[in-house]
Amino acid sequence: MENRKARIAVVGSINMDLVVRCTQLPQPGQTILALESLEICGGKGANQAVAASRAGGQVVMIGRVGDDAFADRLIGNLNHYQVSTQAVQTTEQCSSGVAIVAVERSGQNSIMVVPGANGCLSPDDVNQHQTMITDSEVLLLQLEIPLDTVVESIRIAKTSRTRVVLDPAPAPHDWQSLLRQVKDTVNMPNPIDLICPNETEAAELTGLPVGNLGEAEQAARVLHAQGISNVVITLASQGSLLFDGQAAHHIPPFPITAVDTTAAGDAFAGALGVRWSETKSLTEAIRFANAAGAIAATRPGAQISLPSREEIQEMLTAAAHSSNSRINP
């Protein structure tokens, strides 16, 4: 591992996940008996912050919590994972963000998010802590906070050499409007360095089917043409596809048995940000991120499922040994 820690800034949501485990997700109008319920610290922003820290990064978090019973637990949990919470503010007379997560035995999930204090995270909040972004090598963003705040975060990042990695989740209905706002505010042709949607999100953003590698490449090319420098589409058991403006690259998956995919995408984004800061090879960074996402999917929960740097390296080493054994029996 490198001696220098990658400097990562995260602007995003902080939620308490109320997780319900069931044998299968209920159909509309159906009542089922679930297996158990859990309260787990989450939120896509906080998840990615923890993922980046666990993957070896030095991480600062910009966000908001409410003035309820969840707030201290949410901040304390980030501190536990060595994420700086200096820029996490408390919103008075407001609840913290809450996500209702239903997870079936196959690992598939259904999520409803109540933004709470996350909806109060403003461009002014980001400006107050802009040096945290400009001093970082990578800025991680998601879309569980107001879009004006996302745009302002990108603008600040582009005043320095900070790379912008956007996880476009939940996929916005006004994606084109968001892109126009980013371009008009930042005044650059390619202000977003990388986006990493999953296949469902990529389909929503482009209006194209994304069920296999060929379809993923077509969607990635469309997103690149919209002004995204690099597009990575995660395809679960099919691995990931990168389009870097020149060619498409398939980064294979790690074979696993999924238990809970809730935080797999966040594990991917956080690990990608760290490894991309450390190496000039984006394909190497994506392989590292694939391993992080695969490990997270084998465990229940959000932040508690996120792997350490050592665990990611162990999976990469084991896969390399397995590949060498097949080549040299």
For residue range 243-266, list pLDDT tens digits in order: 999 999 999 999 898 888 888 999
Mean pLDDT of the chain: 93
Q: How many CB atoms are located within 10 Å of the residue 49 CB?
A: 35
Domains by residue range for the chain, with CATH:
13-25+36-320 (3.40.1190.20)
**pLDDT recorded at residue 324:** 54
Min mean pLDDT across 106-115, 179-188, 209-218 is at 106-115
The one-letter amino acid at 73: R
pTM of the predicted structure, to 2 decimals: 0.92
> Mean of the pLDDT values across residues 106-125?
91
Query: What are the residue numbers of the active site?
Result: 266
pLDDT in tens, 35-67: 999 898 999 999 999 999 999 999 999 999 999
ω into residue 307 within 30 of 0, thus cis? Answer: no
What average pLDDT does range 14-41 have in this prediction?
Answer: 92
Q: What pLDDT is stored for residue 233 in this prediction?
A: 98
Q: d(Cα 197, Cα 201) in Å, to the nearest integer?
A: 5
pLDDT band (50, 70, 90) for residue 323: low
Pairing mode, if any, of strands 248-251 and 36-42?
A: unpaired
Q: What is the pLDDT of residue 216?
A: 98
Instruction: State the pLDDT at residue 1.
Output: 44
